[in-house]
Every structure is written in structure tokens, then in C-alpha cells.
Amino acid sequence: MTPTATREAPSEVDLGGEARARRADRSFTGLVTAAGLTVLIVLGLILVTTTLNAWPAISLDPVNFLTGRTWDPNADLFGTVPFLYGTVVTSLIGMIIAVPVSIGIALYITEVAHRRFRKFIVTVIDLLATVPSVVFGLVGGLVVIPAITPAYQWFAGLVAPIPGLNAVFSETNTGRNYFTAGLILAVMCIPIITSISREVFSTVPETDKQAAYALGATRWEMIKGAILPHSFGGLVGASMLGLGRAMGETIAVSLVIGGSLGMTPNMFAPGNTMASVIAQQWGESSGLHTDALIGIGVQLFAITVIINFLARAVVRRAEIKMKGAHS
Amino acid sequence: MTSLSSTPPDLTRRNLSWRRSLANRTSTLLIGLCVVLAAFPLFLVMWQVISRGGSSMSLDFLTEEIPRNYRTAGPGMGPAIVGTLFITGMAALIAIPIGVLGAVYLNEYGKNKPLARFIRTMADVMTGVPSIMMGLFIYVSYVIVIGEQIGFAGSLALACLMLPIVIRSTEEMLRLVPDELRQASAGLGARKWRTIMTVVLPSASSGITSGALLAIARAAGETAPIIVTVGLTYIYKPDLFYGQNTNLAAQIFRNASQPFAASQERAWGAALTLMGLVFLFTIISRIIASRFAIDKR
């Protein structure tokens, strides 16, 4: 360290005493480290405090909480399987629709669109991402459902003679059902899956694409042969991030799913998901019932954290692999 | 391209077998269809919100108190607008300083240390935590402790949502600050904290602001954490620390769940107001961000 004696500063340029400056530096380091640690602290606190509060309801009958099919707060019966089922089913419907559409949009933006039109589409997708979820729920509940119910009834009539399908798509008198929730979730997941797919596609080396064209490939053959194999891992990760988002979506789903407490294979029947049942029953709950709702939240938290963790790992591994292949 | 009838290899599109050409055309068509499929819901939402919300929009709607009965027709979303602005604003005051400082740690101090890498991963994971979980967390750790639902609890929940977004977007911006600036500042004898406060952060300020505004726009539209932590009110409650509060998103949810035309009317008006606010923040953020892009050049 330089001796302080040689660092006599002129009085108008105050560089500060060495000791004071070092103290300032050290406390700043402490401050920013603490800010960085907040993330870990908050995540840890979320897990601990919610689990502690949910414990009275879970410990009542832990097996029933995880495997029971009956949710009856008045009888202190808290089986959460119907909601887990609803969450899985609606997000699967959402993914089946959103993944191909998002990959299509990403391909359109990176490979097909003219430059000016490309900007327009990117803006449209960005705008779609800024629409608050409750607004999707509002439009879904008051506009889409009245319009789409006849279509459900027509389709149910169409597949009625086909065994298997007629159980999945059967008679309905309401548009508030699993399928509508899945549709809304699809729309809400499209922006996130699209933007990550675009990033993944942009890592495909230009030389690979040009090589495919040089071999006489059409655009589709180039996409099939050069882009898709190269980006498969990244696309899996993107879809999983979308899935995580879909499973946690609360308000839009609770406005369109109806709110029945049972479970049925019929996609055109009302149901509930983990997140939406919390929102729907929160207002009229108390005591153990509230604890049980928080318990559902803990379950949901665990599931989404695991999915997000895996998804990030998949995306990162795919990125490393692609960059390695490129260099 | 003139046709060379005599030379054997004809490489033009015309020579493509019909199967390959059909596959190519069909795929292009399907890819285009995907874009239409995604654009349709956006235009449906905008059209419905503007046309239905526009009919109930008026100055009274923006300033009057909310009717206590769902069946009462007429205007009033004033308290919800004030609630949205105050609750989200307070959340921003909490989350943005912590988020920016956290990003400073990640980019200037932690870099590739295991702890920094872990925090980065956890921030990504935290972005994916369902928003209702943040509400439940604040409910059990704050609302139960103080014994009542207040506006500030909603701010805390929204701050938890915004924190990881602010951290990650700020870190991206700090990474763009050229290292020469840091070295020049250090060469002039500035301490590290002074370099960061007077050189690094100011030169990334527009990017940081734009990221923060996007986080605010996202938080302003959140419903689930609000209904869990904030409760409900019909009158103006500018004091976040006293009594239950409300925001636009929660009002949309409540009014849309009712079967009455009067309340649904108010839900549409609230939706138009909320989307206006969110778009305003998004556009300001875009403008600031594009300024930044010009500065970079």
C-alpha cells in the first residue's frame, strides 16, 4: 500500500482520508452483497414461512393432502389431487397449442419475414406479453366463452360416437371449463416461448444454413435439416419455461375455469387448478381452510421452482453445446 | 434468370419436384398461420377493451368512488386508480434500489464466483415463481403479524415480484458499460464504490430505467398478490399504512366475476384504464431504451 504521507492532496480536491475511504469502500461492498443476498433470503423465507403456516392443515392428514380426491373444508377434508389434475391438464392443453405456434412465429421472425414486417411482429408479440393476465380473464370470461360454447357443443356431438374421444370431449352446457382455461394459457405463454425460441434460433451458425441452401435445400428442408436439430435442446427448455408460467397462472384461469371441486376426464367440464382455487376461495376462508390453501401454494411453489430450475439448466446446456460446436 | 435449355443442371425453383415444393409452400403457409393465430387474440383483446371500456369511460369514471353494490350502475374507479399508482409506486421504491445494488454486486463484485452464479440462477428461478405465491408469502409473514390487510403489504408482495426482474435487466445493462470507463476512473484515483456510483451507474442509467419501468408495468397489472394481501375498499385510501386498499386489477377481477351488467361495465372501464397505464409505462420504457441504443453508437 502507498504510504499516506506522500498523498497530500490539495485542499480543494479532497480525495478523503485513506482510512475513511477504505471504510466507505468496505461498507459499499457489504451493502451490495446484502442486496444480492436478498434474492436468496426471500426465496428461503417464502419456503419456510408458507410451509410453517400450512403445516396445521397438512399435518392433519399428510397422505390425504397429497393423494386425497375430496376437498371439503367444512369436514376438514383437504385432498388436493383434483387441483393438481386441473393444473396439469390445463397447462398441457396450453402447451400443445402454444409450443408449435410459438416455434412457428419464431421461425417466421428469424427466417421468413421481411425486415420491416419482422419489427411489426416482434412488437405484436411484445404487446401480447404486456397485457395483464386479468384482462385476458375478462375477455375470456365475457367474450370468448359465450362465443365458443356452441362450438364445444358441436364438437361434442361430432365425436359422440367415437369411443375414447367421447369421454374426453363430452356433453357440455358451459364454456367455463378446462379447455377454455387451456386456450387462455396458450395465449399467455406464446410471448415467453417465442422470445426464447428466437434466441435459440439466432445461435444457429449462419454457415450451417448457407451450407444447407448450397446443397439445394428448400427453405423448409433447411429449417428441418439445419435449424431444428441444432435448437432442439433450447426449444425443450423454452417450452418448459412456458409450462412453468402456465402452471402458476391464477387470475385468468379462475375467471374461465368454472370452479368445480371434482375431477373428470371431460375437457368440456368445469374444474379448478391449484392457483385458481386459492384465488377463488381465499375471501371466504378462515382457520384450517386458509392454511390448506397456503399448503396448495407450497405444493405449487415446489413444482414451479423445480420446472424452472430444470428448464434453465436445459437452456444453458443447450447454449454451451451450440457455442462449443460453433467455435 | 434466362432459361438455359441445353445445359443439363437446371437449378431454378421450377425444377423442384412437386413433393418438395409442396412441402416448402405448406410449411411457409403454416408458419405464417402461426403469426395470425398469435396476433388474433391481441387484436381481439384490444378491440373489446377499447370498444366496451370506452363506452363507460368518462372523467367521473376516473375520479368517483366505487359503488358499494355490484348492481348499481354508474361510474367510479378513482380509489382503484390511486391504489394502483401508490401500491405499485411504493413497490418500485423498495424493489428498484435493492435490485440495482444487487445487480452491482453480481456484475462488479461477484462476477463468476460461485455465490454470484448461484444468486443469478436463483433470480431466474424467482422470476418463475407464481405471483400468487408472493401474495401468500407476504400474507403469512407480514399481514398475519401486523393483524390487518393494508396497502403496504401489497407493495411488499409486488416488490418481491419486481426484484428478480430488476436485478437481471440491470445486470444486462451494467455488462454493456465498457471496461475502459472503469479503468479510466480507477486511474484517476477513484475508489471502487465511487467509480460505480459516479461512472458505471450513470452511464447505464437509461437502460436501468427502461428495465425498471418494464418491471413496474408488469407489477401494475398483477391481481393475485393484491387480493390476498390488500383486501378491499370503495373509498380513497391514499395512506398505504392504514386500512384495506384496492387496485385496478383486483377491481377488474371482482367485477368480472359478478353476473350483473353494471359491474361488468365497470370491469371493462377499469381494464381500459389499466391497459392505458401499462402501455404508457411500456412506451416510455421503449423510448428511453432506444435513446440508450443511440448513445451506445
B289 or A295, greater pLDDT: A295
Which residues in A lie closer than 8 A to residue B48 (C-beta atoms)? Answer: 139, 143
Which residues of chain A from 5 to 34 reach within 8 Å of chain B, CB to CB?
15, 21, 24-25, 28-29, 31-33
Percent of chain B residues past pLDDT 90, beyond the cut: 64
For B44, nearest residue in chain A (alpha carbons): A139
Note the pLDDT tens digit of each residue in B171-189.
999 999 999 999 999 999 8
Give me the residue label for grid cell 391514499.
B238
* Three-state secondary-structure class, residue A271: strand
**Across the interface, do A245 and B101 touch by the CB < 8 Å criterion?**
no
Radius of gyration of chain B (CA): 26
Confidence of residue B7 (pLDDT cuts 50, 70, 90): low
Closest residue in A to B45 (Cα) is A139
Distance from CA of B132 to the nearest CA of A (A): 7
**With bands split at pLDDT 50, 70 and 90, how would you rate the model's confidence at A251?**
very high
CA–CA distances in Å: residue A230 to residues A219, A241, B20, B110, B132: 16, 19, 22, 32, 37
DSSP state of A68: -
DSSP string of chain B?
----SSSS---SGGGS-HHHHHHHHHHHHHHHHHHHHHHHHHHHHHHHHHHHHHHH-SHHHHHSPPPSSTT--S---HHHHHHHHHHHHHHHHHHHHHHHHHHHIIIIIITTSHHHHHHHHHHHHHHTS-HHHHHHHHIIIIIHHHTS--HHHHHHHHHHHHHHHHHHHHHHHHHHS-HHHHHHHHHTT--HHHHIIIIIHHHTHHHHHHHHHHHHHHHHT--HHHHHHT---SS----TTSS----HHHHHHHHHTS--HHHHHHHHHHHHHHHHHHHHHHHHHHHHHHHHHHHH-
Could you tell me if A276 and A35 are in contact, meaning their C-beta atoms sit under 8 angstroms apart?
A: no
Q: Who among B105, B123, B124 is closest to A33 (CB)? A: B105
Distant-in-sequence, close-in-space partners of B263: CB < 8 Å, separation ≥ 6: B70, B71, B254, B255, B256
Q: Which residue of A has its CA nearest to B18?
A: A218
pLDDT of residue A5: 47
Nearest CB to A35 within list B98, B136, B279: B98
Contact predicate B258/B168, CB 8 Å: no
Band (B52; pLDDT cuts 50, 70, 90): very high
Taking each helix axis from N to C end, the angle separating B261-296 and B18-56, rounded to the nearest 10 degrees, works out to 120
Touching check for A42 and chain B: CB below 8 Å?
yes
Under the banding of pLDDT at 50, 70 and 90, the label for residue B6 is low
Q: Which CATH number fits domain A78-326: 1.10.150.120, 1.10.3720.10, 3.30.70.1400, 3.30.460.10?
A: 1.10.3720.10
A171 or A279, which is more confident: A279
Residue A78 DSSP SS3: strand
Contacts of B106 in chain A (CB under 8 A): 36
Q: Check CB contact of A247 with chain B, cutoff 8 Å.
A: yes
What integer pLDDT is reported at residue A166 of this predicted model?
A: 84
- Given a cut of 60, is residue A8 above it in pLDDT? no
pLDDT at A11 over 60: no
The rounded distance, in Å, linking the Cα atoms of B154 and B160 is 10
Average pLDDT score, chain A: 88
Among the partner residues B28, B38, B257, nearest to A190 by beta-carbon distance: B38
Q: Which of B24, B41, B264 sits opposite A219 (nearest CB)?
A: B24
A128 within 8 A of A240, measured Cβ to Cβ? no
Task: Give the residue carrying C-alpha cell 433447411.
Answer: A222
Instruction: Return the residue of B nearest to A17 by Cα.
Output: B191
Q: Which residues of B touch A216 (CB under 8 A)?
A: 11
Q: Which three cell numbers stand for residue A98?
A: 402454444
| Residue pLDDT, tens place only, B219-235 | 999 999 999 999 888 88
Q: Across the interface, do A40 and B118 touch by the CB < 8 Å criterion? A: yes
Which structural domains are found in chain B, ordered by start? 77-249 (1.10.3720.10)
CB nearest to A49's CB, from B45, B140, B222:
B140
Q: Which of B130, B140, B282 sits opposite A300 (nearest CB)?
A: B130
Please, which pLDDT band fits residue A324 given cuts at 50, 70 and 90?
Answer: low
Please check the confidence at residue A2 and state whether its pLDDT lies above 50: no
**A contacts of B264 (beta carbons < 8 Å):** 142
Whether A182 and chain B come into contact, CB under 8 Å, resolves to no
User: At A46, is the secondary structure helix, strand, or coil?
Assistant: helix
Percent of chain A with pLDDT over 70: 93
In the predicted model, what is the mean pLDDT of residues A270-276? 94
Nearest residue in A to B250, CA atom: A134
The pLDDT-based confidence of B16 (bands split at 50, 70, 90) is confident
Give A8→chain B minimum CA distance, Å. Answer: 13
Q: What is the dihedral of CA B196, A29, A39, B135, to 10 degrees?
A: -80
pLDDT at A325: 53
A299: chain B residues, CB-CB within 8 Å? none
**B275 and A132 in contact by Cβ < 8 A?**
yes
Which residues, other chains included, contact A29 with Cβ-Cβ below 8 Å and sequence gap of 6+? Answer: B109, B192, B193
Please state, in angstroms and rounded to a whole number, the distance separating the CA atoms of residues B123 and B164: 5
CA of B18 to nearest chain A CA: how many angstroms apart? 12
**Please, what is the average pLDDT of chain B?**
89
- Is residue B229 a contact partner of residue B154, using CB atoms and an 8 Å limit? yes
Distance, in Å, from the CA atom of B237 to the CA atom of B244, rounded to the nearest integer, reads 8
Examine the pLDDT at A75 and tell me if it is beyond 70: yes
Interface test with chain B among A139, A148, A310, by most B beta carbons within 10 Å: A139
Residues of B in contact with A127 (CB under 8 A): 42, 279, 282
- List all residues 6 or more positions away from A74 whose beta carbon is below 8 Å from its beta carbon: none
pLDDT at residue A323, as a whole number: 64
Q: Which of A110, A118, A98 is nearest to A231 (CA)?
A: A110
The stretch A77-98 carries a mean pLDDT of 94
Residues of A in contact with B91 (CB under 8 A): none
**pLDDT exceeds cutoff 90 at A25:** no
Of the residues B15, B17, B21, B34, the best mutation for testing chain A's interface (the one with the most A CB atoms within 10 Å of its CB) is: B34
The residue-averaged pLDDT of A219-234 equals 91
Interval B71-90 mean pLDDT: 90
Q: How far is CA A6 from CA A2, B184, B186, in A?
A: 8, 22, 18
**Residue A207, pLDDT score:** 92
B 65-104 residues with CB < 8 A to A: 97-102, 104
Statement: residue B117 has pLDDT above 70: yes
Interface of B with A in 27-56 (CB under 8 A): 27-28, 30-35, 37-39, 41-42, 44-45, 48-49
Percentage of residues of chain A with pLDDT beyond 90: 59
pLDDT at B3: 52
The average pLDDT across B66-79 equals 86
Interval A255-280 mean pLDDT: 91
Cell triple for A59: 399435518
Find which of B27, B31, B229 to mutate to test the A interface (most A CBs within 10 Å of its CB).
Answer: B31
